Amino acid sequence: MPVKIELGRRYRFSASHRLHSERLSEAENVRAFGKCANPYGHGHNYVLEVSVSGEVDPATGMIANLADLDGFVEREVLDAFDHHSLNEDVPAFRNVVPTTENLCIEIYQRLRKFPNATLERVRVQETTNNSFEYAGENGRERL
Amino acid sequence: MVLITRKIEFSASHLYHNPALSAEENRRVFGKCNNPHGHGHNYTLEVTVAGDPDPVTGMVLDLKELKEILEREVMQRMDHRFLNYEVAELKGKIPTCENIARVIWELLDPKITQGKLHRVRLYESADLFADCYRNGAAC
């Protein structure tokens, strides 16, 4: 196959978080995280971009049926994150700071099990000015 | 190496229908994209070319030339057309984002002689797109 084709899909979710580490003193937390360490947290409208690859099925013209991908992302990520507190409601962030870097890794791990195509990478936009991408532990060449 | 990207927009109609499937199967697989008279989108195409800037001009390629290639190969073929019926390269294929991106790659790749085609990204809407790369190349 001379070309490689990926399907990209965008989703949105809104969630709150607080950047704060138990391993740092209060002063160190404020130095490291600034206002993101404010005690009651704050929120963002996140944009999640999911890219998958695979053979394009000649019968459908598709790498994966969008309804299948949408349903999987909804169950694995959106239901768990949308309108939730990442710190309080997502077990993975009990002891891990919910930066968008760590959020990317958590989402990648949840979505890598998608059965109908290969997950290439996830990109999470925290605000319109910053975004983060992850393609797995050995995923450098997929970024 | 530097990547340079040019964006164009075109509007076209299409429908998803596989004559090898029954009417019910077409409906189940393609949903409302199977509506018989078709529907349309404003497509956004991003074409990325990789190369080293020419030491004299400072350019990877002449953007005006790329603009003309995109006009000739994509706009004239697809803009304000019904993709199923009017684009020969899509005959017999379901005109999904994946297949259209691939056809655009195959049209552009031989025409781009300054630098090398690196990526074709076709947005059907802000939330759905397909990327086409040369197989084996780092993305």
- Give percent above pLDDT 70 in chain A: 99
CATH number of B2-130: 3.30.479.10
Q: Show Cβ contacts of residue A143 under 8 Å, excluding neighbours closer than 6 positions.
A: A121, A133, A135, B139
- Mark whether B33 is an active-site residue: yes
**CA-to-CA distance for B125 and A138, rounded, in angstroms?**
31
Is this prediction's ipTM beyond 0.95? no
Selecting from A2, A8, A60 the residue whose C-beta is nearest the C-beta of B129 gives A8
Q: With cut-offs at 50, 70 and 90, classify the pLDDT of residue B139.
A: very low
**CA-to-CA distance for B85 and A53, rounded, in angstroms?**
28
- Give percent above pLDDT 70 in chain B: 98
Please tell me which residue in B33, B41, B86, B98 is annotated as part of the active site.
B33
Sign of CA dihedral B34, B38, B43, B48: positive
**Pick among 3.40.50.1820, 3.10.310.30, 3.30.479.10, 3.40.47.10: CATH of A6-142:** 3.30.479.10
Instruction: Give me the mean pLDDT over the A47-57 stretch.
Output: 97
- Mark whether B132 is an active-site residue: no
Closest CA–CA distance from residue A18 to any residue of chain B (Å) = 28
Residue of B nearest to A5 (CA): B132
- Report pLDDT digits (tens) over A62-84: 999 999 999 999 999 999 999 99
Question: Among B96, B79, B78, B92, which Cα is nearest to B132's?
Answer: B96
- Mark whether A84 is an active-site residue: no
Q: Show Cβ contacts of residue B92 under 8 Å, excluding neighbours closer than 6 positions.
A: none
**CA-to-CA distance for A103 and B30, rounded, in angstroms?**
33
Q: Where are the domains of chain B?
A: 2-130
C-beta separation of B14 from B72 below 8 A: no
Sign of CA dihedral B11, B30, A67, B104: negative
Residue B54 has pLDDT above 50, yes or no: yes
- Report pLDDT digits (tens) over B61-78: 999 999 999 999 999 999
Selecting from B105, B130, B133 the residue whose C-beta is nearest the C-beta of A8 gives B130
Question: Among B38, B122, B72, B17, which Cα is nearest to A6's?
Answer: B122
Window 18-77 of A: residues touching B by CB (8 A cutoff) are: 51, 56, 58-63, 65-67
B29 to chain A: which residues are within 8 Å by CB? 60, 65
C-beta separation of B21 from B75 below 8 A: no
Q: Where are the domains of chain A?
A: 6-142
Question: Among A93, A112, A91, A118, which Cα is nearest to A103's?
Answer: A93
Selecting from A3, A10, A56 the residue whose C-beta is nearest the C-beta of B135 gives A3
Instruction: Give me the mean pLDDT over the B37-44 stretch.
Output: 96
A4 to chain B: which residues are within 8 Å by CB? 132-137, 139
In Å, what is the CA distance from A87 to each residue of A15, A23, A41, A84? 10, 16, 9, 9
**CA-to-CA distance for B66 and B80, rounded, in angstroms?**
21
The pLDDT of residue A140: 87
Selecting from A51, A56, A67 the residue whose C-beta is nearest the C-beta of B99 gives A56
Residue A67 one-letter amino acid? A
**CA-to-CA distance for B18 and B40, rounded, in angstroms?**
18
Closest CA–CA distance from residue A90 to any residue of chain B (Å) = 25
Alpha helix (H) ranges present in B1-139?
23-30, 63-70, 76-78, 83-86, 97-108
C-beta separation of A121 from A51 below 8 A: yes
Q: End-to-end CA distance of chain A: give it in Å, rounded.
A: 21
In Å, what is the CA distance from A105 to each residue of A123, B90, B125? 10, 38, 26
Closest CA–CA distance from residue A36 to any residue of chain B (Å) = 29
The pLDDT of residue A143: 87
Please tell me which residue in B25, B39, B80, B106 is annotated as part of the active site.
B80
What's the burial of B26, exposed, middle or buried (CB within 10 Å: 0-12/13-18/19+)?
buried
A66 to chain B: which residues are within 8 Å by CB? 128
